[in-house]
Amino acid sequence: MNKLPLIFVGIFLTFTSAWIGLVAYPTLNLGEMQPLPDEETGGVLPPTTSGLAVAGQKVYASSGCVYCHSQQVRWSPLSTDIAKGLGPRQTVARDYLREKVAFLGTMRTGPDLSNIGARQPDTNWHHQHLFEPRTVTDWSIMPSYRYLYKTQKIEGQPSSDAVQGLRGPHAPKLGYEVVPSEEAKALVAYLLSLKKNYKLPESPEPSEP
Amino acid sequence: MNSPSLLSSLNPSTEPDALDSIERAEIDASTRIPVLLFFASAIFWLLVGSSLGLVSAWKMTNPALLDSFSWLTFGRLRPAHLNAVIYGWATPAAIGVGLWLTARLCRIPLLHSKLLISAAIIWNLGILLGICGILIGDGRSIEWLEFPAYSTPILFIAYAFIGIWTIIMFRFRKPGHIYVSQWYLFAAFLWFPWLYATANILLVWQPVQGPAQGAINWWYAHNVLGLWFTPIGLAAAYYFIPKVIGRPIHSYYLSILGFWSLALFYSWNGMHHLIGGPFPAWMVSASVVASMMMFIPVITTAINHHMTMRGHFESLQWSPTLRFIVFGAVSYTVVSLQGSSMAIPALNTITHFTDYTIGHAHLGLYAFFTMILFGSMYYIVPRLVGWEWPSATLIRWHFWLSAVGILLMVGALTLGGLLQGLALYDVASTFRSSLEFANPFRVLRGISGFILLAGQLVFAFLFVQMLLKLGAPKKGPALFTKPAEQTNDTVAI
Ligand code: HEM
């Protein structure tokens, strides 16, 4: 086989076969997927998310949370994800319709976040945790995101959005408070929106966990 | 002229190139500036990228380290590390090796070097912009495609120059057979722009909907390894092993089988990164099957290299090039077999989200690919600058620091990753125990990073000396020991 054109055709065809299967197919098929009507509420599945949560996706991307946190629940019995409480059911393609970037992730250095909004619905908890994770979970290796917060002097009334109950070396001194930036607020809104616990026909909940 | 019969066009030639030494010197000289430019910038980014990796590594065991700066947060350093080593080091170094091999194997002096010099400069500007973009928070968190949308078109333009150049070189090559390394080079140089353009269009410039992204993302990332780095690494191994020991490759037919099975099966591998993920089952199954089929090209190539080396293993004692290349070729076999095994769902479910994968990544990109690149550079650079490596002792240091460092890193991450994965899998274990199991091994990984970086600094020091022609002029090449018998003219390292 000394013919360059022949080699060219070969490398073209082998590559194209996979390109059709793994690129063109998902683009044309999953790329056109639509939400389903939700008979119970009259809304759609997956539910639409707030503008703030959508803005939070950008903060999630620029902070690189995806390098430690996955957002996918694998099926049972392939994995023990459901038994370990990561979610009530396997996550499927339709679950990612609301995501500008689907943060599936490849690492579980930290826990999976597919359902963090259901597991931990408290806004203030998230702010405390992002501000200094080790004051909430002392064995954590999650980095601090203090740079998303501002420590300021309390002028008159404390701000209504100030983070409550901060402890540790970076906690505000007396007369000071810590307020979340717009980015931090958006990020937490995004985390609270992560609830893949609605029902989808293509992903039934396993009868026994 | 008669058209060649089918048999004669299948005529296997097992010799890399049959050039006389004058032609060879002329071709080498024509590649000097572009190849050295790619090598020098690559080595710079290797040091930057590894330092970023080292800081990321220590942040995982000491989260308070440098934690008040947004641009040094783990979630930015890690993608900056990955992109610096993939697009700053491995890609330009591979391009440099590829250009040099292409000129030699097409048997013509390099044409249009201005095209390549501009490509090298534009490429590096793109990388600089991209890395800074990630650090200031414009990264996209799409793995392997983190560069912001304002830097990837620059990279694409630079790459287009190289693709055009490849086609010109092949078009004007001297008639004669096409050596197996050329197949790999030709394919890789065409596959890469196709990969890069597809992924950027569908994920960065005009992103498709969320549900489709993962498949395209991992089709891309896996093929950068399989259809870009691997073919260039194998092209170098297929060239340098026969060259240094001075005997032809064992079997041309095995290399044909290896090439086509790699082209077909590797391109289908991507979805094994998403086993259990939110995709139609047939897509994942196809990739799992393709991953198993990878045994064919891997074993074929391993047999071919081994049979070529047989009876010549003593060359490893004196030739730096061969020592690095053979280390890389053996690692290729190991990492590929490991990769196939990691696609088995029962193992994947445990190792998937853990440090085990990071061990695998470094086994592939460091123990295989980076070592092959080092070995190739030891052969190529003296021929470009007309100067011999100043110190065999320092080359030996470079080798052993790299070998010990990478074995420690991969060993630690593999063991730690398994324990971490078992804790994550076991329903009775807490999440906390997965961190506690992994932690001591992460400390070892951090130590291995210092060892690797030390090796790289030795190499960079040698390289700078070569560029400046420092040290006493040498009569012969820098060899570890005197070879027992001179092979042919290729002994030079
Ligand atoms: C001093 C040397 C190095 C150190 C200390 C180092 C450290 C690291 C760390 C800490 C990570 C992230 C791990 C995690 O998220 O858990 C990583 C990822 C990675 N590194 Fe390195 N690294 C080094 C050199 C290199 C080089 C030279 C290459 C390539 C040629 C490379 C390729 C990669 C890749 C591809 C990943 C991503 C793996 C994945 O997502 O599966 N590294 N490295």
Q: How many residues does chain A have?
A: 209
- pLDDT per position as a tens digit, B361-370: 999 999 999 9
Does residue B85 belong to any structural domain of this protein?
yes
**Could you tell me if residue B30 is inside a domain?**
yes
Is B245 within the bounds of a domain? no
Count: domains in chain B: 2
Q: Looking at residue B8, what is its pLDDT?
A: 38
For residue B18, the model assigns a pLDDT of 66
Domain boundary, last residue among B176, B208, B227: B176
H or E element at residue A177: strand A176-180
* Residues on chain B touching A101 (C-beta within 8 angstroms): 140-142, 207, 210, 213
Q: Which residues, listed in sequence order, are joined to residue B404 by a DSSP beta bridge?
A: none
CB-side neighbour CA atoms (13 Å) of B43:
20
- What local confidence, expressed as pLDDT, does residue A41 receive? 85
Chain B contact present for A106, CB below 8 A: yes
Choosing from B81, B89, B363 the residue with most ligand 1 atoms within 8 A of its CB, the one to mutate for a pocket test is B81
Q: Name chain B contacts of A60, Cβ cutoff 8 Å.
A: 141
Across the interface, whether the CB atoms of B75 and A142 are under 8 A apart is answered no
Q: Which residue in this structure is represented by tokens 């690492």?
A: A107
B142 at A interface, C-beta within 8 A = yes
Domain with residue B156: its CATH number is 1.20.120
This prediction's pTM: 0.94
Question: Has residue B303 been placed in a domain?
Answer: no
Residues B427, A83: C-beta atoms closer than 8 Å: yes
pLDDT at B12 over 90: no
Confidence of residue B177 (pLDDT cuts 50, 70, 90): confident
pLDDT at A55 over 80: yes
| pLDDT of the residue at B11 | 39
Partners of B183 on chain A (C-beta within 8 Å) are: 7
Choosing among A9, A19, A20, A22, which should be mutated to test the B contact, i.e. which has the most B CBs within 10 A?
A22
Q: For residue A152, which phi and psi values (nearest 5 degrees)?
A: -140, 160
Nearest C-alpha to atom 25 of ligand 1 is from which residue?
A: B50
The percent of residues above 90 in pLDDT, for chain B, comes to 85
Domains and CATH numbers, chain A: 39-193 (1.10.760.10)
**Where residue B344 sits, what CATH number does that domain have?**
1.20.210.10
pLDDT for B472 = 79
- Residue A180 gets the label, from left (phi > 0), alpha (psi -120 to 50) or beta, of beta
Residue B99 touches partner A, C-beta closer than 8 Å: no
Q: Is residue B9 part of a domain?
A: no
Determine the pLDDT at residue B471.
80
Listed residues B176, B196, B212: the one ending a domain:
B176
Res. A40 pLDDT band, cuts 50 70 90: confident
- Facing residue for A93 by CB, picked from B68, B137, B279: B279
- pLDDT tens profile B445-493: 999 999 999 999 999 999 999 999 988 787 788 888 877 554 444 433 3
pLDDT for B197-211, tens place per residue? 999 999 999 999 999
Q: What pLDDT, on a 0 to 100 scale, did the predictor assign at position A110?
A: 97
> What's the rounded mean pLDDT across residues B304-330?
94
**Mean predicted confidence (pLDDT) in B323-333:** 97
What does the pLDDT read at residue A2?
61
Q: Is B90 in the pocket of ligand 1 (CB under 6 A)?
A: yes
> Which atom of ligand 1 has the smallest separation from the CA of B78?
12
pLDDT, residue B16, reads: 67
Q: Is A107 in the pocket of ligand 1 (CB under 6 A)?
A: yes
Residue having the nearest C-alpha atom to atom 16 of ligand 1: B355
Is the pLDDT at A208 greater than 80? The verdict is no
The answer to whether residue B100 scores a pLDDT higher than 70 is yes
* Average pLDDT of span B5-28: 65
The answer, yes or no, to whether any atom of ligand 1 lies below 6 A from the CB of B420, is no
Asked whether residue B307 is assigned to any structural domain, the reply reads no
pLDDT at B3: 43
Residue A74 touches partner B, C-beta closer than 8 Å: yes
Average pLDDT value for residue range A133-153: 96
User: Do A96 and B278 count as a contact with CB atoms less than 8 A apart?
Assistant: yes
Is residue B393, in this structure, part of any structural domain at all?
yes
Which domain does B429 fall in, by range? Answer: 312-482
Measured between CA atoms, how close is A172 to chain B, in angstroms? 15
> Which residues in chain B have their CB less than 8 angstroms from residue A15's CB?
191, 194, 227, 263, 267
Q: Which of B160, B176, B192 is the last residue of a domain?
A: B176
Identify the residue whose C-alpha is closest to ligand 1 atom 17: B53
* A139: its two tokens: 């064995």
Closest residue, chain B, to A60 (C-alpha): B141
**B142 inside domain:** yes
Which of B17-31, B139-153, B208-222, B286-300 shows the lowest per-residue confidence on average (mean pLDDT)? B17-31
pLDDT of residue B1 exceeding 80: no
For the segment B400-441, what is each residue's pLDDT rounded down to a tens digit?
999 999 999 999 999 999 999 999 999 999 999 999 999 999
Per-chain mean pLDDT for chain B = 92
pLDDT-derived band at B339 (thresholds 50, 70, 90) equals very high
Q: Can you give the pLDDT at residue B14?
A: 58
Residue nearest to atom 6 of ligand 1 (CA): B53
Whether the per-residue pLDDT at B380 is higher than 90: the answer is: yes
Give the pLDDT confidence score for residue B20 in this predicted structure: 78
pLDDT: is B493 or A168 the higher one?
A: A168
pLDDT band at B178 (very low <50, low <70, confident <90, very high): confident
Residue B203: predicted pLDDT: 95
Task: Give pLDDT, residue B476.
Answer: 81
Instruction: Answer yes or no: are the C-beta atoms of B220 and B269 closer than 8 Å.
Output: no
Instruction: Please report which confidence band the pLDDT of residue B175 belongs to, taking 50, 70 and 90 as the band edges.
Output: confident
User: Measured between beta carbons, which residues in chain A are less than 8 angstroms from residue B102?
Assistant: none
Q: pLDDT at position A39, please? A: 86
